[in-house]
Amino acid sequence: MLPTTSINPRDQGNGSLNTRSSARHTAGAKRYKYLRRLLHFRHMDFEFAVWQMLYLFTSPQKVYRNFQYRKQTKDQWARDDPAFLVLLSIWLCVSTIGFGFVLGLGFLEMIKLLLWVVFIDCVGVGLLIATLMWFISNKFLLKHPNRDYDVEWGYAFDVHLNAFYPLLVILHFIQLFFIHYVILSASSIGYFVGNTFWLVAIGYYIYVTFLGYSALPFLKNTVILLYPFALLILLYVVSLAIGWNFTKALCVFYTYRVK
């Protein structure tokens, strides 16, 4: 169960801190604390991280309620415990190895694929998306722009990780059971099933991202983050009309990158 404490209106932004507190809550101090905990597995709350991963599928709103609680108790929106990142890394490795087996890749090719998925698909794209969303939200979505109310970059990256996890499980794990016998078949059922997986996965990413920013009480008009749904559905319909198999294209791309 999540802690249920009322939100103090004074804490809805990043808040004004006294000089001593400010020194402890600088970006550098938070980053140092986070990286230090990354080296001490016993200090990580893996049970809670598993809880978050489960609820990102069933009720992502509850996950962001915990972010609000962290803001009240620790004066930061971003995670201070790297347990979620560690478990996500394990998921990346396991699912990518599974994808490599499905594609019939050798050991070295599988390592190349793993490096590509981790450093390009997850981290690289995540850094770009988080930075873009951090800029957009602070530039255009703040209710009352001033230096006391802003979106932390670390929180923007956490939102990306939250949204990326369901996408990863759907496309790199659940989809694997259907690739050879259904998705890559020559029939129209193949690209219908494959593209539907992509529709659900990217739809999840958009929705969880929207929830992440709508949970911040000092942002406005966050509903515009749902607008990409229209483009997604249009692309889905067009892909079915022309027989464009997203999963087959991904398999060809991955094979080309590691050969």
Digit-by-digit pLDDT tens for the chain (259 residues) are 444 434 444 444 454 444 334 434 565 666 656 656 666 667 788 999 999 999 999 999 999 998 888 888 888 888 888 899 999 999 999 999 999 999 999 999 999 999 999 999 999 999 999 999 999 999 999 998 876 778 999 999 999 999 999 999 999 999 999 998 899 988 899 999 999 999 999 999 999 999 999 999 999 999 999 999 999 999 999 999 999 999 999 999 998 888 7
Q: Give me the pLDDT at residue 258, please.
A: 86
Tokens 């609680």 sit on residue: 69
Tell me, rounded to whole angstroms, the distance of Cα 50 from its chain centroid. Answer: 15
Q: Give me the pLDDT at residue 46, please.
A: 93
Q: Give me the pLDDT at residue 32, please.
A: 58
Q: Give me the pLDDT at residue 20, please.
A: 38
Tell me, rounded to whole angstroms, the distance of Cα 152 from its chain centroid. Answer: 15
Question: What domain range is 130 assigned to?
Answer: 27-258
Q: Give me the pLDDT at residue 73, please.
A: 86
Q: Give me the pLDDT at residue 168, please.
A: 95
Q: Give me the pLDDT at residue 72, please.
A: 86
Q: Give me the pLDDT at residue 1, please.
A: 41
Question: Could you tell me if residue 2 is inside a domain?
Answer: no
Amino acid at 43: H
Question: Could you tell me if residue 4 is inside a domain?
Answer: no
Q: Which residues of 11-23 are buried (b: 16+ CB within 10 A; e: fewer)?
A: ebbbeeeeeeeee
Q: Which residues of 88-105 are buried (b: 16+ CB within 10 A; e: fewer)?
A: beebbeebbbebbebbeb
Q: Give me the pLDDT at residue 36, please.
A: 63
Tokens found for residue 157: 């990256």
Q: Give me the pLDDT at residue 26, please.
A: 60
pTM passes above 0.95: no
The tally of domains found in the chain comes to 1
Cα separation of 252 and 26, whole Å? 45
Nearest CA-CA partner of 78 in 3, 2, 160: 160
Among left, alpha and beta (phi > 0; psi -120 to 50; other), residue 243 is: left
- CB of 259 within 8 A of CB of 112? no
Helix H or strand E segment including 9: none
Q: Give me the pLDDT at residue 43, please.
A: 74
Question: Could you tell me if residue 248 is inside a domain?
Answer: yes
Q: What is the dihedral of CA 152, 156, 162, 166, to 10 degrees?
A: 180
Question: Could you tell me if residue 3 is inside a domain?
Answer: no
